[in-house]
Chains A and B, each alone.
Chain A
Amino acid sequence: MGLSVDERWDLIDKISKETVTFGKYKHTLKDAVGELTIKPLTGIPIAIAVLYGLWSFFGSFAGFFTDGFFVSLFDEHFLPWIQSVFPDKGGWLYYIFVGDPLADNCFEAFGVLTSGLFIAIGVVLPAIIAFYLILTLLEDIGYMPRLAVLIDTILHKIGLHGYAIVPTILSLGCNVPAVTASRILETRKQRFIMMTLLAIFIPCGAQLGIMEEVIPDTMGYVLIYLLIGYFILGFILNKIIPGKSPEILIDVPPYQRPMLRNVRRKMQMRIVGFFKVAIPFVLLGCAVVNILYKGGVIDWLANVMSPLLSGWFGVPDETVGPLIAAFLRKDLAVAQLSAIPMTSYQMITSVVLVSIYFPCVATFVMILKEGWKDLLGSVAVLAAVVFLYGGLIHLIGILLGVA
């Protein structure tokens, strides 16, 4: 026999009297500081400081290893050595694995064992370690739920809620776990919006690392274009996609000291994931693009797509090579872009195009796992976005007189 509503409340009262101790709770300093990070007036400047910290640490840490040691190790020692010992100079295998025999740095060699290894180990790995270290610390301290509360109102404008900040920030490390993390969103509409936005507008840590290395001066503009695109597309998708975007109830834990064991385990799991997912694709990407170059496919595609690339997007025809590489790894594609002669604005447009034009193959597979209908929908949105947003950036450049 079921209980009536009144009886149920009486039972709740009875249980709570026996189990809950009531008293006057005295606010601690930790509580007061925690409240400051949630209120918009104080929380937003604090969030900006946290992002500054993340970015500054990322730049210094990655720069220390890449510019300080890996550039010298790869360019002055490894490249001359492999160029001299690899057999059949000028042959297909040499071109695929070592690349240009006259190159004096690993960025321009484009071989699997030269550019591939340098990008994966020398540039991307330090960037990924720096990013995941800070992200793990923020998670363990308890800042992430506060950021979710703080940004909830803004994300509701694009059909999401505060917890969407978790896959968004995870995506800045790698889109693959971020697609999985989008399952924390309740409705299919929210998950579709999240996955589409992640796949198109959020550059992964590997891509950020390579951008920091090859286009440090224009990187800020690329990120601004991506951020604006994230909100514009989110707003449009929220309007046109049927479904609900419910509110959330977040349990905000108190701030706590990060546990070394937690940090170590999370870092280990994420870096092992990077080695498994990213490095094989970087090496494969180098090989595929080199084979296509050698076979003349890239030149043919550059000619065929010339009206779209130079006419509509305003970028050099040679961009087609990096665009193909971007399907496998976007960091590799940005590195390849850096070797193509172009103006600063063309570089901004090209990097934005590489970022938004297609998710890398690993992300593609993850979205497919979420359902083929979602994947087809994402690809359709993506095609429209690339065409329109790429053209819009070109138009802005023309109006500003810089394109």
Chain B
Amino acid sequence: MGEYTMAKLYFGILGIVTVLFGVSELAVTAGGTSFSWGILEIPNEMFRGGWGGFIVLFAGLFYLSSLKNFSEIHQFSKAIMGSIMIWVVAGLDIFAMITESIPGEEGWFNSLGGFLGTYAPPYTPAIILLPFSLVVIYYICKRKAS
């Protein structure tokens, strides 16, 4: 097995899942109703579902287009960019959670239960993809070391 075969397999599967998530977000937004299944929730709002879904879709396409000759630096940079795009969407979803969790509805600040409850599932597709996208950091470090 080549040095990057495992990476190709991993980012291939991640790319397919990311594309599916992106398409689902666009479809749910177009359909006009939100979708929830287990810890996954796809909002149907135009901004988050439409615009955000488009970015998740392209993140998946970046992963998939990086697979051919993955070890080559320009190809590998596409996988990095795919991860960065997921970090943008997921990071801002988390930031939105933080800003919603602090102010209270009755007083200045939220109760502890209300604060923690904001962070409970379900989560958007980008947040679910976030930990899997971080694997790219391992490969960046590996490249630097070699």
Contact = CB atoms under 8 A, between A and B. Distances in A.
Given A29-B143, A33-B80, A53-B88, A45 B58 contact: yes
Nearest to B51: A52
A56 B55 contact: no
A239 B62 CA distance: 39
Contacts of B120: none
Contacts of A57: 92, 95
B81 to A, nearest CB: 5
Secondary structure at the A interface, as helix, strand, loop or mixed, is: helix
Given A45-B55, A68-B99, A69-B103, A29 B85 contact: no
A46 B81 contact: yes
A35 B74 contact: yes
Nearest to B103: A68
A64 B108 CA distance: 12
B114 to A, nearest CB: 13
A12 interface: no
* Size range of the chain B interface in the assembly: 20 to 34
A60 interface: yes
Of B76, B88, B143, which is in contact with the most chain A CB atoms at under 10 Å from its CB? Answer: B88
Interface residues of A, number: 28
A45 B62 CA distance: 10
B85 to A, nearest CB: 5
A32 B77 CA distance: 6
Contacts of B88: 49-50, 52-53
A45 B96 CA distance: 22
A52 B76 contact: no
Contact of B52 (A28, A42, A52): A52
B55 A60 contact: no
B54 A48 contact: yes
B85 A56 contact: no
Given A60-B95, A63-B99, A67-B103, A29 B81 contact: no
Interface of B: 46-47, 51-52, 54-55, 58, 62, 73-74, 76-78, 80-81, 84-85, 88-89, 91-92, 95-96, 99-100, 102-103, 108, 140, 143
